[in-house]
A and B are shown apart, each in its own frame.
Chain A
Amino acid sequence: MTTNPYEMLGVSAKATQDEIKSAYRNLAKKFHPDLNPGNKSAETRFKEISAAYELVGTPENRAKFDRGESEAAQAQQPRSGPYYHETQAGGGRYSQGFGGMDDDIFSSIFEQMGRQGGSGFHGTSDMRGEDVNYKMDVSFRDAALGGEREITLPSGKKIRVKIPAGVHSGVKLRLAGLGEPGVGKAPTGDAYVELNVLPSPLFKREGNDLEIEVPISVSEAILGAEVKVPTIDGPVLMKIPAGASSGKKLRLSGKGILNNSTGKRGDQYVVLKLVCPPNADSEIKQAVQAWAHRQTFDARVGWIGSQGGVL
């Protein structure tokens, strides 16, 4: 520690009286104990600065010091009485006039600190880092079967994210420790990635069940057939019963999407769509005409619209 008052005040020995004064004022503003209540090192600095200023703050004292007639030790006059903040610590008359302030604010701050740090208040506040939320599109296929995606965090860090099979839009994946850094000794927050599952051109998804429309020909509808139907596991051969109508729903059990809570898969429904040949040749037309004359099938029997249109 220096005892040279000029060094203490940060001025040269040739500084003018005004320069010394303004250096002292600037330091006093910074280290005054009443502006730094409870800060012992500020108080020590303030005493040193005051003592230095005592030695060289006036032209007379300064001349005395420069002639070597006064020394730092002599200048340390004991302070008569406490600093103002010391009289107010623990509740003085002057600092108790603020009873209208909302004490609930403090209580809630402390409760929160207790929760987040898990260790209450110890002077330093350890606070867990904030959680960060992201959104990510995933393909229908990855959502159905599971997959892996590489994503780049805003920090530039690349990470691989595992997408579990069976996720749906709105599911949040938790990436532990990839949120904001914590304060003090507290842990880093987590990142949450909210998934948005993109639609499939083939499948309609309803919960864990899937629906697909499969076109069939007239002969397949009348005679029955086996058709190749896509599923998320790959194509399967499906039996179409003879006499199936357009719109008939058939079920492929267990070919839907995995339900993560039950471990069971949903079903895939196959909706038949009867497609007529657009340019039927005369042979077919004659055959159908002959057939139509012979039989009495009314496709609209039992159809509510045939009763004259009840709204």
Chain B
Amino acid sequence: MRKVMTLNEAAQLFGVEQVIVVEMIRHEWVHPEEERTLDEEDVARIRLILELRHQFGANDEAIPVILHLMDQLYYLRSRLGFLASSNNK
């Protein structure tokens, strides 16, 4: 069972206008599997983008670059974890 929420619910959760969330989807920083329905991954990603903006001072130019690098890092981590476990068997 996937936990999902609407764009409005997500905006309320983080105390921002819904238009902010819509913008993130329009920029393709967040791409929900189903239209106007956010799953846990999307919500966590929205939170990360808000933190990048407000805590890190990242601007709209930098955000997609950071997201892309982070996603690559997580991909590599999961591949390494997989190979390390198969290597130890």
Task: Say yes or no: B84 contacts A87, CB within 8 Å.
Answer: no
Bound CA span A28–B54, Å: 10
Task: Say yes or no: A32 contacts B74, CB within 8 Å.
Answer: no
The answer to the question of A80 belonging to the interface, with a C-beta cut-off of 8 Å to chain B, is yes
Task: Say yes or no: B40 contacts A103, CB within 8 Å.
Answer: no
For B47, list chain A residues within 8 Å (CB): 81, 84
The answer to the question of B16 belonging to the interface, with a C-beta cut-off of 8 Å to chain A, is no
The answer to the question of A29 belonging to the interface, with a C-beta cut-off of 8 Å to chain B, is yes
- What is the minimal beta-carbon distance from B54 to any residue of chain A, in angstroms? 9
Task: Say yes or no: A121 contacts B78, CB within 8 Å.
Answer: no
Bound CA span A93–B45, Å: 11
Task: Say yes or no: A94 contacts B55, CB within 8 Å.
Answer: no
What is the total number of residues of chain A having a CB less than 8 Å from a CB of chain B? 38
What is the total number of residues of chain B having a CB less than 8 Å from a CB of chain A? 30
Task: Say yes or no: A98 contacts B13, CB within 8 Å.
Answer: no
B10-26, CB under 8 A of A: which get 1 and which 0? 00010000000000000
The answer to the question of A82 belonging to the interface, with a C-beta cut-off of 8 Å to chain B, is yes
Bound CA span A97–B43, Å: 19
For A87, list chain B residues within 8 Å (CB): 40-41, 44-45
The answer to the question of A255 belonging to the interface, with a C-beta cut-off of 8 Å to chain B, is no
- What is the minimal beta-carbon distance from A234 to any residue of chain B, in angstroms? 62
Of the residues A28, A92, A123, contact of B74 by C-beta under 8 Å = A92
The answer to the question of A120 belonging to the interface, with a C-beta cut-off of 8 Å to chain B, is yes
Within 8 A of B (CB), among A50-106: 80-98, 101, 103, 106
| Chain A residues packing against B (C-beta within 8 Å) | 24-25, 28-29, 32, 34-35, 37-38, 80-98, 101, 103, 106-107, 110, 114, 120-123
